[in-house]
Every structure is written in C-alpha cells, then in structure tokens.
Amino acid sequence: MKSYIKILVLLILLAPIGSSAQSVVNVYARVTAVSGTSLTVSNATGTFTTGAAIVMQMQDSTIGTNTGNNGSFGNLSGIQSAGIYEIVAITAATSSSITLSGSLIHSFHFGINSRVQIISYPTLGSGNYTLNTAVTAPSWNGVTGGVVAFKVDGALTLNSDIKVDGAGFRGGAVGSNAPADYSCDPTTMFDNAGGVSTSWYGYKGEGIYNPNGVYNVARGKILNGGGGGNLNNAGGGGGGNFTAGGTGGQGWSCSASTTGGGAGGIDLSTYASGSRIFMGGGGGGGQQNNGVGSAGGNGGGIILISATSVKTNGGCNSGAGYVAISAKGNAAANSGNDGAGGAGAGGSVIIQTSSYSLNGSCPINVNTSGGDGGDVNNSGAHGGGGGGGKGIVVLSGVVGIPTGVAVADTVGTGGSNDNTSSAVTAGSGSSVAISGGSGIMFTPSSLLPVQLTAFDAFGINANAVIKWQASAENGFDYYLVERSVNNGVSFTTAGKVTATGSNSVYSFSDNVSALIASNPKIYYRLKMVDKDGSFEYSSVRAVSFNQQSATNIIKSFPNPATATVYISSAGISNATAVHATIHDMQGRIVKSYSNASFSGANTVAISLDGISKGQYIITIDGTMGQEHTVITKQ
C-alpha cells in the first residue's frame, strides 16, 4: 500500500508572481541497492531530510530475448517493475544511505539495465498554498530527474505553471557524419552494421530499458525509445508512451517498402495507470552524410500533484490567460538534405483532488502531447522524423473532466521527407481509444493510503465531535485525532482510533471544557497511520465554541424523547427561519426541516415522527452559526 508523510523542509524559495524564474521543489538521488529499510544511494542533487519521498523504477530489464537483428528487436518481453512507484517515509539520510520507516512494498530491480531513483515528496506550505512561480524538474540525465511531485494539505491555488516538457527520456543523437552516400539499409536493427561504421547510424532514443552501452544505434526501436535512422539519410523513429511513436522517413536511397527509417517506440497502454507511470520515450536520431541531420526529441517527464482542492483566481499566470500543467514531448529539429530526428512522446500527469474551483477566465490546460518529427528542407526525398506518441493524464478523485480543465493529449505529426508540394511524410504517432476520451483516465485514488469519503468536526456542549468515513483501508493501521489551539500552527494528539476496514464510519468525542474559555475556536485533523509506520494528514476542520457562553448554551428537552424534542439556544432567533437537520450516528441525513416550528422564545420544536429508536445528532443553523446536540429517540 502506498503512503507518505509530511516533509519538513522547504527546498526552494519561490519567486514572486510575474517572475520568469522556475523552481525545482524536489531532491533526487539514484538508488543502487535495498536492504530491509535501508537504501544505498548516489548522485544526489541535494540533501534529503526526514519526510516523504517517492521511490520510482524508471527503467528495468524489459527486453528479454528480443535482441536478435530482426523486426522483433526491442519488443517488450515483460514489464517487470518499470514505472512502479511508491510513497515512503524517510527517517534518516546521509549522502550515501537513506533509512525508511518501513520496508518497501514493491520489488525494485538494480541490474545493469535498470535504474531506480528516489525523489523527495514535499508538502508545500501548511494548509492552503498558492503557487506563484513556475515549477519544473531537471531533465532526466540517465540516473535522476524528470519528475515533479508535491502535495498540498489544503487548497492549491495555481498562479503559475508546472512544466516538465522534454524532461523525460532522452532523444538519440545524430550519427557521425558518413563520408559518402551508401545504399539503403532496411535490415540493421542494432550495432551490426555489416562492414560499415556503426557510428554512422542514428542513435536510438531512450526508453524503459537501459542498454548500458549496447544496442545504441540503428533503426530498431528499444522499447518505447524510437529507433535511429539507417543508411542513407533516413529519419529517426518517434518515442512512445501511452501510444506508439511513428516510423522515420525512408531515406535517400530507400523506398517506402524498403525503408531505413527508425521504428517508432512501442506503446505502454496495457500497463499505464495511476500506480504505474512512464516518462515519454525519446525519439531516434537521424542519419547524416552532409552534416545536416538532426537529433531526436526528448520525451515528456512526470508530474504528480495531490491537494484537497485545486483553484485558480484572477492572477492566472500573470495574465497569460491560463495555467499550464504540461509534460509534452519535444519536437525534433528540422534537417537539411539528411535524416531528421524523431520526436519525443508525451509524458504522464497525475492530479489527485476531488474538488476544482477554477476562475472562468483562468482555466487549467493539461498537455501530454507528443512532439512533431523534424522536416527535411530539401527537394529530394530523404527522411523526416517520426512523430511522438501521446502520454497519459490521470485525474484521480473525479469521474469526468472538471469545468475549466482542458486536456490536450494528441500524437505528434511525422516530419516531411522533402519540401516539395507533394512531399511524403514520416509516420505520425499512433492514436488509440482510451477510457475517458483523449488520453485521460479517471481513478478513485492514486496516491492516498486511505481515502476519506467524509470528514467533519463540530461542537456539542463542551465536546468536539469528529466524524469521518473512509474507504480503501487495505493495510491501514490507525488514526490519531490531533488538536490545535493556536490556529493550526501546531497540533497535539487528542486520541487514537483503530482502523476496522473499508467503508468504515468513525466517531471521536473530545472534551474541551478546560480549553474553550480561552480558545473559542479549536482545530482538528486526522493523522492516518499505515502499518509500516508511514502516515498522512487529512485536511483541517475548525470547531467554534462561541455557543458555550453563559447566554448561549444549546439545550434539548425532553431527552430522551418520543414524539417531539425541543431545541433551545440564544443562537435561535424567532425572527429568522431556522434550518434543522437530523443525522444518525453514521452521519447520514434522516430528516431535514427548512423552517423549524417555533415553540417559544429562542426555541424550536423538532418532530421525531417516522424516526427509529436510537441516538441522533440534530444540527441547527442559527444566528451564531451551526449548533449541534445529541438526542435519544425512545
């Protein structure tokens, strides 16, 4: 089960609204081994500290025996752990070792063809948070980078962009300059050039398999990395992610049936989900002999965002008219009369929230589109680059695209093989149907260790009653009810409740009679603790105890009652219509009154007709706000 805790360090100070600066809010390190709760790490980009982090398998030994010099080269043998990630809790860290609060749930692999990284997972702010400066990630460099991940405990207001365009798997380089034209080579799939220099072939784009210096060049794809262009002047293939990349253009001495163009990277749609995600594959490099070929484009990176709600306001990215959450694949540059590079595939975006509140003039544009292949700027038929495949968008906590959210998840267009009016183009990225429409998946939850379906807190006399309902509690241990008397700055434990199973309803009563005289408003949150010791916080609820003054004590009589109960409080005004609601102890509405009957000064009569025997909570909307009392129906 996935879980995480609040990180205790702010890694980067964000710049003011309108700044062109970009922030990196994560720290990264390569993981090279796991022993129990200890990770061996290297290549750290900064200092890790106590708090939440993500362990993610970026590449794995997925190619198996598909290494023959034939058309099956680079096919997927088994997905292994590629794309798997889990959220962990760091308890100690040095430059070479990180200690977790519990053992990893998933199996992570560390062979020569595999890469694993750990990424800090900060909670920005303390409660609501406004993002005023663009956030990005350092580009993937073969061992770390390419991922933006953060959480907000309250509402996340977006005033600026979150972008990892081209931060994913790297595009292949152009082959070295061949000394002359050679005949078409449609058969070489990797470093077996048959008597010519392998360095003349375009380099393959990067994907979920790390070749570790082997199989670097020629037209065979390497999983979702596009193949490089072959002799002569063929284009590179586009990278793949949720859909496959396009094939590179045929080349100078080839034909459509004997193409030397790089194969497009494979699609990973069977495996992509909220719990397994991939960076976009890199496009393959073009082949050149006149020094004017172009390299493949990089794939898009990964964005993981979790917040109670997501908002925009009038700031809207300093007047840009929208806020971007973007993991696009890069287009490849155009070439002259040599092969052009294939484009990078779109990356992956996961946004976990159940509530969107977007300003009508400030929408959110989510983009995981593939890039376009490079064009050939010459009248002779050469090799345009293949278009990149599309990425994936996972909207967790909703069942449709929210109002004000626009999603672009399109495949990239193949580049032109020449610049004539009748030019033939290289292959575009492929497009497939996907649940939810154009590249979108909807899931109940991707990241949270437990999903709260209800959470409320209110005062009854001198007690705060905290009620919540949870689902997806597999592997979950217990809840700590935490209380704050300093406006939510710090919290102490008020009590502990053991988890009992999915869809359970919980209630906790906290006697605060000694606190309310000097603290008329008390704040509560839940600390949700996993069996491995890692934990997550809920949002915060405030309970007002103004009604506890001598002139404003809510009373219910008779109690127990049979047919009618009378509710009396200074907060009930005879001049105002009073709304009353009866809930059972599981929080379900049993009966509601839009205009309760007055039976005397500051008193309403509530009929209990049709209600079964048992305990109930009656909520009154009075002039002092909501007031609650517990009654028993006999």
Q: Are residues 564 and 483 in the same domain?
A: no
Report d(CA 443, CA 471) in Å as an integer.
Answer: 14
What are the tens digits of pLDDT across the range 415-433?
A: 999 999 888 899 898 876 4
Separation between Cα atoms, residue 359 and residue 476, nearest integer Å: 37
How is residue 578 written in tokens?
């009073």
Per the model's pLDDT, the better-predicted residue between 195 and 257 turns out to be: 257
For the CA atoms of 593, 598, 603, 608, the dihedral, rounded to the nearest 10 degrees, stands at -40
- End-to-end C-alpha distance for the chain, whole angstroms: 44
Percent of the chain whose predicted confidence (pLDDT) is above 70: 87
Within a domain: 618: yes
Is residue 489 one of the residues assigned to a domain?
yes
**CATH for 563:** 2.60.40.1220
Confidence of residue 521 (pLDDT cuts 50, 70, 90): confident
Domain residues for 541? 451-548
Domain end marker among 533, 548, 563: 548
Closest CA to 116 of 46, 244, 210: 210
Find the mean pLDDT for residues 507-516.
Answer: 86
Q: Do the Cβ atoms of 344 and 168 come closer than 8 Å? A: yes
Let me know whether 541 and 457 are in one domain. yes
Inside any domain, residue 587: yes
In a domain, 499, yes or no: yes
Residue where one domain finishes, among candidates 520, 548, 576: 548
Residue 130's Cβ-side half-sphere holds a number of Cα atoms within 13 Å equal to 11
Residue 267 scores a pLDDT above 70 = yes
The answer to the question of residue 351 being in a domain is no
pLDDT in tens, 131-190: 999 999 999 999 999 999 999 988 999 999 999 999 999 999 999 999 988 999 999 999
Q: pLDDT for 290-340, tens place per residue?
A: 999 999 999 999 999 998 899 998 778 767 889 999 999 999 999 999 999
Q: Are residues 525 and 571 in the same domain?
A: no
Once rounded to an integer, what is the mean pLDDT over residues 271-291?
93
Is residue 407 domain-resident?
no
Q: Are residues 542 and 560 in the same domain?
A: no
The answer to whether residues 560 and 498 belong to one domain is no
Residues 455, 543 within the same domain = yes
For residue 318, the SS3 value is: helix
Are residues 460 and 505 both part of a single domain? yes
- Whether residue 450 is predicted with pLDDT greater than 70 in this model: the reply is no
Burial 523-556 (b: 16+ CB within 10 A, else e): bbbbbbbbebebbbbbbbbebbbebbeeebebeb
Among the listed residues 114, 227, 212, 245, the one whose alpha carbon sits nearest the alpha carbon of residue 172: 227
Residue 474, pLDDT > 70, answer no
Q: Would the pLDDT of 373 be above 70?
A: yes
Question: Are 495 and 559 contained in the same domain?
Answer: no
Mean pLDDT of 208-227: 96
State mean pLDDT over 61-74: 95
**SS3 for 141-207, per residue?**
CCCCCCEEEEEEEEEEEECCCEECCCCCCCCCCCCCCCCCCCCCCCCCCCCCCCCCCHHHCCECCCC
- The answer to whether position 136 is within a domain reads no
Buried b (16+ CB within 10 A) or exposed e, 120-139: bbbbbbebbbbbbbbbbbbb
Residue 626 pLDDT level (bands cut at 50, 70, 90): low
| Between residues 438 and 29, the one the model is more confident about | 29
- Residues whose CB is less than 8 angstroms from the CB of residue 472 and which lie 6 or more positions away in sequence, other chains included: 444, 445, 448, 450, 451, 502
Question: Quick one: 533 and 483 in the same domain?
Answer: yes
Residue 19: the pLDDT is 39
Give the CA-trace dihedral at 460, 523, 468, 572, to 10 degrees. 30
pLDDT, position 17? 33
Q: Which of 125, 127, 97, 112 lies closest to 31, judged by CA?
A: 97
What confidence category does residue 509 fall into, taking pLDDT thresholds of 50, 70 and 90?
Answer: confident
Q: Are 544 and 521 in contact (CB under 8 A)?
A: yes
Identify whether 185 is part of a domain. Answer: no
Q: Is residue 564 domain-shared with residue 542, that is, in the same domain?
A: no
With CA atoms as reference, report the closest residue to 50 among 116, 6, 96.
6
Examine the fold and report which residue of 527, 548, 569 is the final residue of a domain before the chain moves on: 548
478 burial type by CB count under 10 A (0-12 exposed, 13-18 middle, 19+ buried): middle
In this predicted structure, which of 270-284, 456-470, 516-530 has the lowest mean pLDDT?
Answer: 456-470
Q: Which residue has the higher pLDDT, 504 or 161?
A: 161
> What type of residue is 167?
A
Residue-level pLDDT at 10: 31
Q: What CATH number is associated with residue 457?
A: 2.60.40.10
Lowest mean pLDDT of 24-33, 209-218, 315-324, 330-339, name the range: 315-324
Residues linked to residue 89 through DSSP beta bridges, in sequence order = 52
Q: What is the per-residue pLDDT across 77-114, written as a single tens digit (0 to 9) for each?
A: 999 999 999 888 898 999 999 998 777 777 899 999 99
Structure tokens at 129: 């948070």
What are the tokens at 546?
Answer: 């103004």
- Rounded to the nearest integer, the mean pLDDT of the chain is 86
Percent of the chain with pLDDT over 90: 53
- Residue 576 and residue 530 share a domain: no
Give the per-residue pLDDT at 79.
94
625 CB-near residues (< 8 Å, 6+ apart): 544, 546, 547, 571
Q: In the numeric block, which tokens belong to residue 451? A: 């999903």
Q: Check residue 587 and give its pLDDT.
A: 57
CA angle at residue 274 from 391 to 403, to 5 degrees? Answer: 75
480 and 458, same structural domain? yes
Q: Is the pLDDT of residue 557 over 70?
A: yes
Q: What is the domain count for the chain? A: 2
